[in-house]
């Protein structure tokens, strides 16, 4: 019997095949809950919902990105996003090595646009490495990038790396634990099955998870009873591993683009129910138990926690920016003007896409860029937009 859900809104119905796959994943998750004395962490639920082999959202076969998928990312909006990052890549490659590594490359559009722009600029890229967990997305990338023989796919990050690293909307899809403030301290929100549906269960918090809460939220003791938030242990672990990879290299820089806030802006009353967000057929909602495997589940990124994890691992923080400042500093405006504004049919769509990328009311302020690395300097025009003091 499939697990029921309570979405509270009208959403498109999935196909019968998709629904069958979701039901299979629901039974797999329910069986794991039963094996674990009736409850699992939300992080484990999210991991299975997104990455269970053959059934999870990122490991199954459904389209994720673009007009036929569930959401659209910056590279899908305009090739100018990738062309702008190519300028950044060229500046770093000149100081390090002709290698690029991308985590979670989506449809391959960002890699395509970066490599196309670099080739047109006469910048040689010897290897473009992609770490991709989704078999469906890897297949799309291989088709999109079939004319670039320097592209290679990896199952895990290398031990050491010189060059440039990009991660666009990677951190937000990493599993998070959920915690809630109780009168006697913090408790964990786990996932159970209640009356035929997935539901939350308050459980005692482990010493390890409590330590993460205390490290992540400086004023955790002041938050009100009932406050719910995410603990980004997996993402912090990724940042530590990424930092060790960079430390083992000679010269490099990694740029992580995502939506989120520094800690002092994250843990406010307006986010007292957490930041979990789900994406299904271009509808956004906050019900993570809706059709597991058929929707994306994300959480806003605590960029202070990411920077601390990198710093604790010993790597340098090169800068922290809102997306608008970073892209404008990197020259997205100049690239837009390569299209003559008088050619209205060509110019207006690109202008609108750039406006969406940089407008404070769109992606320009909500999306941030964290840069880490060693033995390289960012271009002065980008450094002028640095907000590291706000971390």
171, pLDDT greater than 80: yes
pLDDT of residue 9: 54
Query: What does each C-alpha distance from 186 to 180, 190, 210, 306 come to in angstroms?
Result: 6, 13, 7, 22
Find where tokens 């990879």 sit.
245
Is residue 62's pLDDT more than 70? no
Q: Is 66 left (phi over 0), alpha (psi -120 to 50) or beta?
A: left
| pLDDT value of residue 281 | 80
Please indicate, yes or no, whether the overall pTM of this predicted structure exceeds 0.75. Answer: yes
Q: What is the pLDDT of residues 220-252, one digit of tens each?
A: 999 999 999 999 999 999 999 999 999 999 999
Checking if the pLDDT of 317 tops 80, the result is yes
For residue 18, count CB atoms less than 10 angstroms from its CB and return exposed for 0-12, middle for 13-18, buried for 19 or more: middle
Angle, CA 141 vertex, CA 276 and CA 16 arms, to 5°: 60
Counting Cβ atoms within 10 Å, is residue 135 exposed (0-12), middle (13-18) or buried (19+)? middle
Average pLDDT over residues 145-163: 97
Whole-number pLDDT of residue 212: 96
Averaged pLDDT, 48-71: 73
| Percent of the chain's residues with pLDDT above 70 | 95
Give pLDDT, residue 136: 82
CB-based contact 168:257 (threshold 8 Å): yes
* Phi, psi (deg, nearest 5) at residue 219: -105, 40
Report the CATH number of the 17-391 domain.
Answer: 3.40.50.12710
The least confident of 12-26, 57-71, 182-196, 288-302 is 57-71
Tokens at 188, concatenated: 């964990």
For residue 315, pLDDT over 70 is answered with yes
**Are 51 and 58 spatial neighbours (Cβ–Cβ below 8 Å)?**
yes
- Confidence class for position 280, pLDDT limits 50, 70, 90: confident
Q: Are 189 and 202 in contact (CB under 8 A)?
A: yes
List, for residues 71-117, the tens digit of each pLDDT value: 679 999 999 999 999 999 999 999 999 999 999 999 999 999 999 99
**Dist CA 6 CA 25 (whole Å):** 18
pLDDT of residue 61: 59
Across 249-264, average pLDDT: 97
Task: Report the candidate in 38, 18, 23, 31 with the shortest Cα–Cα distance to residue 199.
Answer: 38
Query: Could you tell me the pLDDT band of residue 333, with boundaries at 50, 70 and 90?
Result: very high
Distance from C-alpha of 386 to C-alpha of 371, rounded to nearest angstrom:
10
Q: Could you tell me which residue, 13 or 355, shows the higher pLDDT?
A: 355
pLDDT value, residue 135 = 82
What value does the mean pLDDT take over residues 247-268? Answer: 97
pLDDT of residue 3: 43
Check whether 345 has a pLDDT greater than 70.
Answer: yes
Alpha carbon separation from 356 to 29, 79, 268, 385 (Å, rounded): 38, 13, 26, 19
* Mean pLDDT computed over 38-44: 98
DSSP 8-state class, residue 267 = S
d(CA 176, CA 297): 10
């Amino acid at each position: 019997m499939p697990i029921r859900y309570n979405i509270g809104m009208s959403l498109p119905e999935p196909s019968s095949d998709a629904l069958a796959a979701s039901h299979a994943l629901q039974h797999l998750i329910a069986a794991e809950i039963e094996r674990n004395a009736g409850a699992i962490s939300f992080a484990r639920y999210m991991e299975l919902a997104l990455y269970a082999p053959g059934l999870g959202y990122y490991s199954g076969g459904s389209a994720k990105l673009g007009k036929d998928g569930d959401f659209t990312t910056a590279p899908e909006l305009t090739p100018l996003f990738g062309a702008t990052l190519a300028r950044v890549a060229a500046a770093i490659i000149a100081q390090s090595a002709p290698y690029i590594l991308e985590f979670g490359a989506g449809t391959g559009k960002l890699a395509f646009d970066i490599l196309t722009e670099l080739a047109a600029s006469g910048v040689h890229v010897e290897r473009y490495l992609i770490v991709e967990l989704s078999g469906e997305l890897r297949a799309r990338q291989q088709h999109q990038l079939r004319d670039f023989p320097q592209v290679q796919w990896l199952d895990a990050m290398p031990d050491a790396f010189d060059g440039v690293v990009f991660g666009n909307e990677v951190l937000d899809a990493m599993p998070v634990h959920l915690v809630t403030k109780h009168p006697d301290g913090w408790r964990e929100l786990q996932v159970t099955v209640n009356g035929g549906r997935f539901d939350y269960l308050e459980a005692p918090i482990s010493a390890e998870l409590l330590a993460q809460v205390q490290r992540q939220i400086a004023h955790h003791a002041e938050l009100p009873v009932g406050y719910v938030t995410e603990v980004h242990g997996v993402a912090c672990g990724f940042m530590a591993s990424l930092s060790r990879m960079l430390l083992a290299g000679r010269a490099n820089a990694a740029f992580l683009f995502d939506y989120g806030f520094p800690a002092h802006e994250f843990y406010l009353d307006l986010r007292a129910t957490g930041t979990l967000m789900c994406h299904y057929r271009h509808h956004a909602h906050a019900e993570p138990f809706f059709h597991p495997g058929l929707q994306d589940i994300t959480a806003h990124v605590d960029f202070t926690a990411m920077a601390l994890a990198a710093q604790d691992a010993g790597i340098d923080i090169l800068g922290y920016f809102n997306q608008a400042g970073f892209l404008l500093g990197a020259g997205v405006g100049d690239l837009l003007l390569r299209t003559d504004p008088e050619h209205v049919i060509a110019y207006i769509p690109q202008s609108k896409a750039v406006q969406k990328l940089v407008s404070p009311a769109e992606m320009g302020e909500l999306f941030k860029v964290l840069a880490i690395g060693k033995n390289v300097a960012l271009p002065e025009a980008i450094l002028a937009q640095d907000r590291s003091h706000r971390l």
